[in-house]
Structure 1
Amino acid sequence: MGFFLETLIGGLMAGMLYSLIALGFVLIYKASGVFNFAQGAMVLFAALAMARFAEWIPQWVPALANPIVANVLAFALALAVMVLVAIAVEKLALSRLVNQEGITLLMATLGFTYFLDGLGQTLFGNDIYKIDVGMPKDPVIVAESLFQGGILISKEDLYSALIATVLVALLALFFQKTATGRALRAVADDHQAAQSIGIPLSTIWIIVWSVAGFVALVAGVIWGSKLGVQFSLSLVALKALPVVILGGLTSIPGAIVGGLVIGVGEKLSEIYIGPMLGGGIEIWFAYVLALLFLLVRPQGLFGEKIIDRV
């Protein structure tokens, strides 16, 4: 029982990190109807900016060599860079492609992906960098009195999951309770109707891409702290694709539930089913589950069902 709970908790914590990346897809799709294929590149670009600024700031200003100060300033600078990226996306692409076919916008985000990958290498280099924000690496054993040997929990995974949980909750409140959040949802429902009542599309799109950039930065810092900042980091975002398919492209709660289901499902299946199939099930479990949902319920668990009337 203790081992099962240990696996379950590990899956839940991994699922919250998947949900965090999936939020980037959901936020942009809700506000602009664009499936942002560049979310993985945004995570990598933000993590590179954070890692390199944290390294450069003590060199630029030796008085700021304190790691905490350097990390805070690096995070602020990286966030400013992501806001500039959001402004550039709106000015150079979205404002010129408004009301175009979905495939046109998708191709634009694909081009944006390769542009960010190349720009990241040009500005920040292509080595493996580390991000050290002080999260503890040592595991902790809990519930020793209840289960033989206790339950082993990674402190770093626990802290990461808590950060992701708080951020997801704040973003859900932002969308539901603030005037800006309601404006974002109005734009998502109907661009022209939103414009007719005075909602500025350009401002809304800059806001939502900036928020998605902030989410990408937090996800990049967490994953960069765990895995190191390297160009394979952008592939982590591919795990968010089954999450948004499972939860629904338009649902923040769906991103949360989808992430948890996939996080727990892949851990349990690897432990209990993997040995019978030769292992490796954790690699493809999420995609097979997403495929089944596409066949049975394409809009996902919480997505809006599209009804075409003729």
Structure 2
Amino acid sequence: MGFFLETLFGGLMAGMLYALIALGFVLIFKASGVFNFAQGAMVLFAALAMARFAEWWPRWLGFDSKLLANLLAFVTTMAVMVAVAWLIEKLVLGRLVNQDGITLLMATLGITYFLDGFGQTLFGSDIYKIDVGMPKDPLIVAEQTFEGGILLSQEDLIAALVAAALVALLALFFQKTSTGRALRAVADDHQAAQSIGIPLSRIWVIVWSVAGFVALVAGIIWGSKLGVQFSLSMVALKALPVVILGGLTSVPGAIVGGLLIGVGEKLSEVYLGPLLGGGIEIWFAYVLALLFLLVRPQGLFGEKIIDRV
């Protein structure tokens, strides 16, 4: 039982990190109706910027405080992500208002490859380290209840708590603020939103900036765990099955979908892996997403679209 709970908790913590990345997809889809393939590239770009600025600021200003270096790097990277959001709106999205969805989708693919290449041109393509002081030592709990206790990763636990807090704040932002309601109105109909005075360009800059902030937090967490490298953008793609399960328009769906994927892949790898030859954790999420597409394509919490003729 102790081993099962250990695996379950590990899956829940991984699931919260998947949900955090999936939230970036949901945010932009809710505001623009665009499936943003660039979210993974934004995670990589933000993580690269964070890692490199944390190295550069002490060198430029001549200090050796890790806390100050990380703080300056975070602020600088966030400013860079806002600038990226503004440029995306001015140079790409602002010129494609009311275009077909496939046109906007292809635009995000172009942004993906640009950010991947430009990020490595600016910041380098080596493997970099992000050290924000997250504890690496494991934590053993419930020793009195289960023999040997339950082994938890302190780093994963803190990361999951940070992700959960950010997801909750963004959910409140969408539901309780006038800006959040404006974002939903823009997603429903660009022209109608403009006709009632909602500034489309400002809304898109806001939502891409928020998605950039989410990408930065996700990049810091995953960069701290895995190191900052090109594979981070591949990790971010694990959020695709999450949004398919939860629904492209649902913030709660991103949470539930992330938890289902995280727990499912951990349990299947541990208990079915020895029987099927291992490697289940790699493809489990995508097979589950495929089944959902066949049975419930709008996801668990997505809105069912009915076309009337």
* Structure 1 and Structure 2 fold alike (TM over 0.5): yes
How far has the Cα of 1:237 moved from its partner?
1.0
How far has the Cα of 1:192 moved from its partner?
1.3
Aligned counterpart, 1:17: 17
Aligned counterpart, 1:285: 284
Q: CA RMSD in A?
A: 0.6
How far has the Cα of 1:135 moved from its partner?
0.1
How far has the Cα of 1:198 moved from its partner?
0.6
Q: Please, what TM-score do these two structures have when normalized by structure 1? A: 0.99
How far has the Cα of 1:223 moved from its partner?
0.2
Comparing 43-52 and 187-196, the one that deviates more? 187-196
Aligned counterpart, 1:62: 62
Cα distance between partner residues in 1 of 2:174 and 2:221: 23
Aligned counterpart, 2:150: 151
Q: Encode CA deviations 1:243-302: one digit per residue, 9 max, x unaligned.
A: 000000000000000000000000001111111101111110000000000000000000
How far has the Cα of 1:41 moved from its partner?
0.4
Aligned counterpart, 2:225: 226
SS of aligned partner of 2:132: coil
Aligned counterpart, 1:101: 100
One-letter code aligned to 1:225: S
How far has the Cα of 1:122 moved from its partner?
1.2
Cα distance between partner residues in 2 of 1:36 and 1:238: 11
Cα distance between partner residues in 2 of 1:165 and 1:136: 18
Q: Encode CA deviations 1:36-87: one digit per residue, 9 max, x unaligned.
A: 0011000000000000000000000013x21001101100000000000000
Aligned counterpart, 1:27: 27
Indicate conservation of the 8 Å contact 2:98/2:191, yes or no.
no
How far has the Cα of 1:157 moved from its partner?
0.3
1:26-105 alignment, distance < 5 Å? 26-63=26-63, 65-105=64-104
One-letter code aligned to 1:46: A
User: Can you give the 5+ residue segments of structure 1 that lack an aligned partner in the other structure?
Assistant: none
Cα distance between partner residues in 1 of 2:25 and 2:254: 9
How far has the Cα of 1:193 moved from its partner?
1.4
Aligned counterpart, 1:123: 122
Q: Encode CA deviations 1:225-249: one digit per residue, 9 max, x unaligned.
A: 0000001111011100000000000
Cα distance between partner residues in 2 of 1:240 and 1:2: 29
Cα distance between partner residues in 2 of 1:270 and 1:124: 36
Aligned counterpart, 2:268: 269
One-letter code aligned to 2:213: F
Cα distance between partner residues in 1 of 2:151 and 2:213: 31
- After TM superposition, the runs of 4+ consecutive aligned structure 1 residues lying more than 3 A away are none
One-letter code aligned to 2:62: P
Q: Encode CA deviations 1:122-147: one digit per residue, 9 max, x unaligned.
A: 11011100000000000010000000
One-letter code aligned to 2:136: K
1:221-260 alignment, distance < 5 Å? 221-260=220-259
Cα distance between partner residues in 1 of 2:149 and 2:163: 25
SS of aligned partner of 2:152: strand
Aligned counterpart, 1:176: 175
Q: Encode CA deviations 1:151-174: one digit per residue, 9 max, x unaligned.
A: 000000000000000000000000
Cα distance between partner residues in 1 of 2:293 and 2:12: 23
Cα distance between partner residues in 1 of 2:120 and 2:141: 43
How far has the Cα of 1:186 moved from its partner?
1.0
Cα distance between partner residues in 2 of 1:87 and 1:248: 27
One-letter code aligned to 1:219: A
Cα distance between partner residues in 2 of 1:122 and 1:291: 36
How far has the Cα of 1:102 moved from its partner?
0.8
Q: Please, what TM-score do these two structures have when normalized by structure 2? A: 0.99
Q: Encode CA deviations 1:178-220: one digit per residue, 9 max, x unaligned.
A: 1111111111111111111110000000000000000000000
Cα distance between partner residues in 2 of 1:16 and 1:300: 18
SS of aligned partner of 1:132: coil
One-letter code aligned to 1:233: L
Aligned counterpart, 1:8: 8
Cα distance between partner residues in 1 of 2:48 and 2:212: 13
Cα distance between partner residues in 1 of 2:116 and 2:7: 35
